[in-house]
């Protein structure tokens, strides 16, 4: 799970990709000069629009390592949102003036991805999702995580952050204006999930500015900054928090508690929104990159749940447990030996699990593609932990100035089973998100929007696939750890049923919780936050299993086609070396890779 959703876009087209373009471009070969007028025009347009996107979202720019907007907040005013929509339309018109037929190789892929990126932006505007800028997972009340993703290495970084604190009130005013327009237009989140938000806001309404979550970077400052300058920056930060930040959050606290929450919709279904069927269909297409209907996905989930059940039952029979599946799950949830009492022990266990993986990576990946940027394991902030995931991945900065992190939930350690630690680490750490995302960022031969783009079905599908890869690597070395792996597979299969059930099949929240309890060993704490996550973020949970199934299918297809010449390292490089791709494009890339491998085999046979 990636903590902060970036722009996620899909491509529901099949591309014709020439064999010469996809053979073996080294990940760090560097960008080649565009060949021909059409390619130059495309690269100029992509660069111009990427810079515009960075101006539009300075927080994302800073996190990605583009520091020219470090002192700014996004302008989320209704007028600016409307203007940016018109600029998106113009971008598509400019792109249409470039002859697609003259582009080859990665430029052809870039054209199609860029076109769909902006078509999705244009379509999203009409569905008005921007009028719901907050939920219990993300929004202006979760900005404390911002301080963990930004660079604080020198006095300029701190000055820029002070500048942000000094201009915070306008950003809050624009956010509240979006909420108010959402109430007018009937675009509100469900009450059941928004009831989790007030205590998150409370953390920012403090009497002492030094206790504000946004003051955290000033508690420990690098020695490179002289003591006098440190003192000046701390004084300026406290003044800005007292004068700008705390009053702004107090205003949000009052508006949210006294007005907004009462207007939140009682229905949990995305289809209950104005134009809700189109809204949910868009969410499914965006996150799952598939033409499958919600009904088809729901039926697929039911089949997958039954299949995994059979595998899980074999495990609890292996350990000699007497009883049925529900009895075994109850045993796992209630026996204290499966849990740590001390949060520090839980954190240490995650860190040990991460180091178990590292020496095995060279058996599954060529060394040249492994990322250079390191990653670490740290706790999720305590004020966010009760309402969020078991763990999530914080990507590194694109310029390498901030390492990546796997952030783990230490809240109620008695709800965080030991047998899930390894599989969760494989997903959020390496070889999952903390491998795939930094590899993409380091692909200097690609335009910036592709280096930092993220397709949920690809990224989450890859991370789920690596849970199975860790099984291949022998990391689930006892029956309970293997059950944890299967339970995580079950978790993602249940999502197919629950997400579509609540948003298109008329399920209640209680039905979704009960289905989870009947089919998963997740603790009740996790089930509650998971179900509320799917309510607040419709469609995203579908991407995991659909993506993994596609990568597994491609791997099996390659093995059957190549036989003894199949190389798992080369296959993984082929999946990763073009950056994040919609599943339709990934299918084409791997098909071409298979043809390239077969051609190499034929050439070798002829030479002999």
List pLDDT tens digits, range 180-195. Answer: 999 999 999 999 999 9
DSSP lists the bridge partners of residue 391 as 408
Contact 583, 11 (CB under 8 A): no
One domain, residues 273 and 295:
no
Residue 21 confidence (pLDDT) above 80: no
Cis peptide before 431 (omega within 30 of 0): yes
Domain limits for position 521 = 290-549
Establish if 571 belongs to a structural domain: no
One domain, residues 206 and 309:
no
- What DSSP string runs through 239-306? HHIIIIIHHHHHHHHHHIIIIIHHHSBS---GGGSTTHHHHHHHHHHHHH-----HHHHHHHHHHHHH
The structure tokens 């003044």 sit at: 239
Domain boundary among 233, 253, 279: 279
Residue 54 confidence (pLDDT) above 90: yes
Establish if 32 belongs to a structural domain: no
One domain, residues 309 and 242:
no
One domain, residues 369 and 269:
no
pLDDT given for residue 30 in this prediction: 53
Establish if 193 belongs to a structural domain: yes
The structure tokens 């229905």 sit at: 267
Residue 19 confidence (pLDDT) above 50: no
- What DSSP string runs through 554-570? HHHHHHHHHGGG--HHH
Mean pLDDT score, 146-161:
93
CA distance 177 to 458: 34
CA distance 33 to 28: 15
Neighbouring C-alpha atoms within 13 Å toward the C-beta of 523: 20
Residue 23 confidence (pLDDT) above 60: no
One domain, residues 275 and 294:
no
Mean pLDDT score, 323-352:
92
Establish if 28 belongs to a structural domain: no
Phi-psi region of 113 (alpha: psi -120 to 50; beta: other; left: phi over 0): alpha
Residue 73 confidence (pLDDT) above 90: yes
One domain, residues 382 and 252:
no
One domain, residues 318 and 182:
no
Establish if 53 belongs to a structural domain: yes
Establish if 592 belongs to a structural domain: no
Long-range contacts, stretch 85-91, CB < 8 angstroms, 24+ apart: 85/121, 85/122, 85/125, 87/52, 88/118, 88/121, 88/122, 88/125, 89/122, 91/45, 91/49, 91/118
pLDDT given for residue 319 in this prediction: 86
One domain, residues 472 and 354:
yes
Residue 298 confidence (pLDDT) above 80: yes
pLDDT given for residue 3 in this prediction: 54
Query: What pTM was estimated for this model as a whole?
Result: 0.86
The secondary element (H helix, E strand) that includes residue 317 is: helix 294-318
Which of 23-27, 74-78, 93-97, 505-509 shows the lowest mean pLDDT across its residues? 23-27
Question: How many domains are there within the chain?
Answer: 2
pLDDT given for residue 230 in this prediction: 98
Residue 218 confidence (pLDDT) above 90: yes
pLDDT given for residue 601 in this prediction: 65
CA distance 173 to 131: 14
Mean pLDDT of the chain: 91
375-423 per-position pLDDT tens digit: 999 999 888 888 888 899 999 988 888 899 999 999 999 989 999 999 9
pLDDT given for residue 603 in this prediction: 57
CA distance 450 to 9: 11
Strands of the sheet containing 375-379, edge to edge, are: 375-379, 404-408, 391-394
Establish if 579 belongs to a structural domain: no
Domain boundary among 251, 279, 307: 279
One domain, residues 263 and 370:
no
Higher-pLDDT residue of 273 and 319 is 273
Higher-pLDDT residue of 122 and 525 is 122
Establish if 562 belongs to a structural domain: no
One domain, residues 401 and 508:
yes
pLDDT given for residue 608 in this prediction: 47
Domain boundary among 549, 572, 595: 549
One domain, residues 400 and 262:
no
pLDDT given for residue 290 in this prediction: 80
Residue 27 confidence (pLDDT) above 50: no
One domain, residues 150 and 270:
yes
Contact 196, 531 (CB under 8 A): no
Q: What percent of the chain has pLDDT over 70?
A: 93
Split at pLDDT 50, 70, 90, the class of 464 is: very high
The structure tokens 């095995």 sit at: 360
CA distance 287 to 538: 9
């Amino acid at each position: 799970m990636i903590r902060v959703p970036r722009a996620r876009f899909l491509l529901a087209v099949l591309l014709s990709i020439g064999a010469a373009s996809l053979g073996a471009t080294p990940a760090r070969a560097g960008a080649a000069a565009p060949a021909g007028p059409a390619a130059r025009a495309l690269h100029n347009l992509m660069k111009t629009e990427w810079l515009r996107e960075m101006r539009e979202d300075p927080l994302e720019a800073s996190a990605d390592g583009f520091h020219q907007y470090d002192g700014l907040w996004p302008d989320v005013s209704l007028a600016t949102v409307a203007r940016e929509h018109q600029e998106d339309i113009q971008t598509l018109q400019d792109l249409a003036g470039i002859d697609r037929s003259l582009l080859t190789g990665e430029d052809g892929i870039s054209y199609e991805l860029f076109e769909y990126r902006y078509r999705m932006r244009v379509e999203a505007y009409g569905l008005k999702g921007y009028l719901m800028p907050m939920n219990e997972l993300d929004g202006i009340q979760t900005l404390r995580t911002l301080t963990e993703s930004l660079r604080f290495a020198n006095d300029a970084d701190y000055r820029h952050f002070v500048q942000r604190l000094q201009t915070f009130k306008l950003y809050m005013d624009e956010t509240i204006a979006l909420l108010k327009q959402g109430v007018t237009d009937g675009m509100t989140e469900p009450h059941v999930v928004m009831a989790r938000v007030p205590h998150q806001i409370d953390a920012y309404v403090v009497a002492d500015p030094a206790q504000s979550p946004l003051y955290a970077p000033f508690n420990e400052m690098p020695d490179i900054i002289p003591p006098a300058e440190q003192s000046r920056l701390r004084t300026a930060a406290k003044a800005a928090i007292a004068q700008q930040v705390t009053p702004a959050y107090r205003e949000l606290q009052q508006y949210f508690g006294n007005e907004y929450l009462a207007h939140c919709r009682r229905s949990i279904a995305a289809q209950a929104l104005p134009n809700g069927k189109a809204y949910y269909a868009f969410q499914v297409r965006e996150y799952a990159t598939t033409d499958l209907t919600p009904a088809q996905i729901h039926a697929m989930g039911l089949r997958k749940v039954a299949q995994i059940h059979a595998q899980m039952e074999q495990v609890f029979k292996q350990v000699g447990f007497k009883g049925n599946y529900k009895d075994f799950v109850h045993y796992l949830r209630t026996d204290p030996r499966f849990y740590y009492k001390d949060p520090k022990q839980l954190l240490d266990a995650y860190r040990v699990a991460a180091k178990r993986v590292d020496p095995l990576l060279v058996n599954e990946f060529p060394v040249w593609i492994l990322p250079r940027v390191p990653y670490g394991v740290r706790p999720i902030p305590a004020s966010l932990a009760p309402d969020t995931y078991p763990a999530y991945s914080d990507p590194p900065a694109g310029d390498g100035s901030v390492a990546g992190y796997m952030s783990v939930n230490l809240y109620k350690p008695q709800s965080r089973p030991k047998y899930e630690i390894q599989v969760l680490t494989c997903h959020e750490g390496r070889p999952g998100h903390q491998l795939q995302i930094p590899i993409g960022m380091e692909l200097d031969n690609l335009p910036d929007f592709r280096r930092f783009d993220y397709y949920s079905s690809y990224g989450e599908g890859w991370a789920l696939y690596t849970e199975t890869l860790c099984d291949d690597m022998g990391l689930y070395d006892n029956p309970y750890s293997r059950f944890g792996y299967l339970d995580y597979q079950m978790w993602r299969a249940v999502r197919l049923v629950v997400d579509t059930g609540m948003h298109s099949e008329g399920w209640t929240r209680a039905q979704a919780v009960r289905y989870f309890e009947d089919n998963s060993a997740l603790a009740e704490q996790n089930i509650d936050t998971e179900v509320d996550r799917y309510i607040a973020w419709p469609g995203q949970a579908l991407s995991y299993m659909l993506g993994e199934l596609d990568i597994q299918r491609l791997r099996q297809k390659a093995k059957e086609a190549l036989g003894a010449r199949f190389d798992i390292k080369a296959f993984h490089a082929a999946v990763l070396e073009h950056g994040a791709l919609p599943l339709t494009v990934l299918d084409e890339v791997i098909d071409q890779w298979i043809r390239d491998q077969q051609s190499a085999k034929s050439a070798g046979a002829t030479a002999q």
